[in-house]
Structure 1
């Protein structure tokens, strides 16, 4: 099947599934439509770009299934004018979709290989408001002010309270939280004063957040 057809049919099927799950944000769906997911998956998985399965990428990482990726972004409640910090760039797909809505997206990953690939894909789409860097996600992004939204794609074992200083008042963070050895929950943490209000969203499967940048990849 040709890539154009995979994009057209895959996105149409994805929208139907998302609507059944209550995801109807037109700005978000338009941003997804304008961001060809086939450009972000490894070539051998192009036919599955819009499937609900996780897709392995370089450095032992993976892309969320298309349904889960958009569902997570819908919970982020991203708006024009927002500044966003993404912990875990991966393929750069979420980075690119968010950049079509937000004013500025800063994304960090510990793997140089992933950063290089993501930057190329983001640049190829002409998205100049996405900044991708190799950095230790455990530190967030120092020196860039505060953010309206933070999204993490690696799991924390405890509420990451040090991120509160990098959020504006009323800002929120979406992140996977390890519940026990077998379970992980996607949560929304909303900053109120100096503390977080936590809302459990839905179960997910994620790799744990690893500190420090990678030495070789």
Structure 2
């Protein structure tokens, strides 16, 4: 009970921090943050689930800090009728936030363990509008297209044009562009006709998008 009360206090403080963000965090996303207990997604030894620093998860991967995760979701500007494609399920926290604000989320991860554990969390939370796949997702998902929003938690060497035909008009994609061995630029790519318009968000360090399923995990 003490731990639950403390998490409520930490959530209240985090929501207050989000309320001061500029640009403003959409109300639907703030509601999603309040409904999705981040404690379910972070490692058991994390004292404050809403701290803003990356946390290690299974399979040698990491999940973004709480503020970074919400900012990523906010950049997508998801509407209730949107279909979202996510490359890199990870813990499933960002997936869950998007599912609370979108019509449907299709999410891919190359690690079976991450896919299965995230799916268990979605079930516990009563989230039924997520389709999870054990694949790398590097070519998108033609069968589920067109998508209104795409987020890839990975770096591409150049804007990933393979996604263009799977996007609806005026669709948006968030990803990192740059070399796999250093800093990259987080970008917001907007589909305009048969090309992307690029808006640079900031500097990040993402892993390059890996090829194929993980053989062991």
Normalised to the residue count of structure 1, the TM-score between the two structures is 0.94
* 2:152 equivalent to 1:152: yes
How many Å separate the matches in 1 of 2:91 and 2:81? 24
User: How do 1:32-181 residues align onto structure 2 when only pairs under 5 Å count?
Assistant: 32-45=33-46, 47-178=47-178, 181=181
State the Cα deviation string for residues 139-182 of structure 1 (Å, max 9, x = none): 11131121000011111121111111111010010112226843
Q: For 1:133, what is the secondary structure of its paired residue?
A: strand
* 2:194 equivalent to 1:194: yes
How many Å separate the matches in 1 of 2:153 and 2:118? 15
Structure 1 residues not aligned, in runs of 5+: none
Match of 1:185 in 2: 185
Q: For 2:31, what is the secondary structure of its paired residue?
A: helix
C-alpha contact 2:87 2:108 (8 A) present in aligned 1: yes
Q: For 1:155, what is the secondary structure of its paired residue?
A: strand
How many Å separate the matches in 2 of 1:90 and 1:2? 29
State the Cα deviation string for residues 11-58 of structure 1 (Å, max 9, x = none): 22222333333133111010111000000111112x231000100001
How many Å separate the matches in 1 of 2:159 and 2:60? 25
C-alpha contact 2:180 2:206 (8 A) present in aligned 1: no
How many Å separate the matches in 2 of 1:12 and 1:136? 36
Structure 1 residues 133 and 51: alpha-carbon distance in aligned structure 2, compared to 1, 3 A threshold: same
Q: For 1:38, what is the secondary structure of its paired residue?
A: helix
C-alpha contact 1:84 1:104 (8 A) present in aligned 2: yes
How many Å separate the matches in 1 of 2:184 and 2:116? 29
Structure 2 residues not aligned, in runs of 5+: none
Structure 1 residues 208 and 6: alpha-carbon distance in aligned structure 2, compared to 1, 3 A threshold: farther
The CA deviation at 1:191 is 0.4
Q: For 2:144, what is the secondary structure of its paired residue?
A: coil
Match of 1:9 in 2: 9
How many Å separate the matches in 1 of 2:12 and 2:176? 28
The CA deviation at 1:106 is 0.4
How many Å separate the matches in 1 of 2:2 and 2:115? 28
C-alpha contact 1:7 1:37 (8 A) present in aligned 2: no
The CA deviation at 1:206 is 1.7
